[in-house]
Amino acid sequence: MAITVLLSFTACNAQIKNAKTESVKIYGNCGMCENTIEKAGNVKKVAQVDWNKDTKMATLTYDPSKTNQDEILKRIALAGYDSDQFLAPDDVYDNLPGCCQYERVKKTEVILTEVVTDHSMHNHDSTTDAKSETKQEVKELKVVFDNYFALKDALVKSDGNLASAKAKDLLNALNAVQMNQLSNEEHTVWMKVMKDLKFDTEHIEETKDVGHQRDHFNTLSDNMYQLIKVSKQVTPTYYQHCPMANDGKGANWLSKENGVKNPYYGSQMLTCGKTVETIE
């Protein structure tokens, strides 16, 4: 009996052939860390890790013909835990549960003195001097556009609740527009699109279904485009196009940024699309 027990014990240990044992430091905090560290390090029949949360020391037992210390420590670092060989990627560390965010050894960053000679970053804000008489008109529709952009951002995040709330704001803004404050051109377009703008906005507000909201956002954007074309803006607006939206028929939207953030697919196809026109 005793022999069988003994045998099974040795069998347990003998799971890893020609086992080599080493002791290394791995940074971490708590029992949860221990779980993650050991799980990341263990490979059946190849490597076993036993970490002690008090001493921060880990016992590595492994088969040197199949693996090495570096491989084990790299796996552990990729799970978020630094050792003296590897530093975990920052984003992985940041994603560790709060209780596991142990104190990291600070790296000494070198401050690079560099002359920035970047010509491509012309700031568009430098064209702010709009004439004073147009300012009033700008303001009149600006609230509308701003709310439209907020709605668009909600759709980029695929957040139906937020989109509905933003649509409500947009509807308020649309209703508050004083037509006598608009320029002639704006007025003409406004009369043409006002009804549809309100129609689509109401529908976006009514539902929390992002798919349905996007259907309306498509026509809303087309009308908004007509309006913004004739309305003078302080900063440029980008008219963007995704050929895949709307079941492959394509759809447009307006954005304040040149970089594409697609409101029709959200994170699925965030960068699908391109700027087709810059409205200044």
List interacting residues with other proteins (CB under 8 A): 32, 35-36, 74, 77-78, 84-89, 91-92, 94-99, 107-110, 112, 120, 241, 243-244, 248, 250, 261, 267-274
- Least distance between other proteins and beta carbon 202 (Å): 29
- CB closer to other proteins out of 244 and 279: 244
Nearest-approach distance from CB 107 to other proteins, in angstroms: 4
- In the complex, minimum distance from the CB of residue 92 to other proteins, in angstroms, rounded to a whole number: 6
184 burial (CB, 10 Å; 0-12 / 13-18 / 19+) is exposed
By C-alpha distance, which of 36, 21, 172 is closest to 95?
Answer: 36
Helix axes 210-230, 132-156, angle to 10 degrees: 160
Question: In the bound complex, what is the minimum distance in angstroms from residue 246's beta carbon to other proteins?
Answer: 12
CB nearer other proteins, residue 43 or residue 272? 272
119 versus 131: smaller Cβ distance to other proteins = 119
Q: Work out the burial of residue 200: count CB atoms within 10 Å of its CB; fewer than 13 is exposed, 13-18 middle, 19 or more buried.
A: buried
Q: CB of 115: closest distance to other proteins in angstroms?
A: 9
Give 3 or 110: the residue with its C-beta nearer to other proteins. Answer: 110
Question: Alpha carbon 100 to chain centroid distance?
Answer: 23
Residue 103 vs 129, nearer CB to other proteins: 103
CB distance 271 to 262 below 8 Å: yes
Cα angle 75-77-79, degrees, rounded to a multiple of 5: 75
Q: Look up residue 107 and give its DSSP letter.
A: P
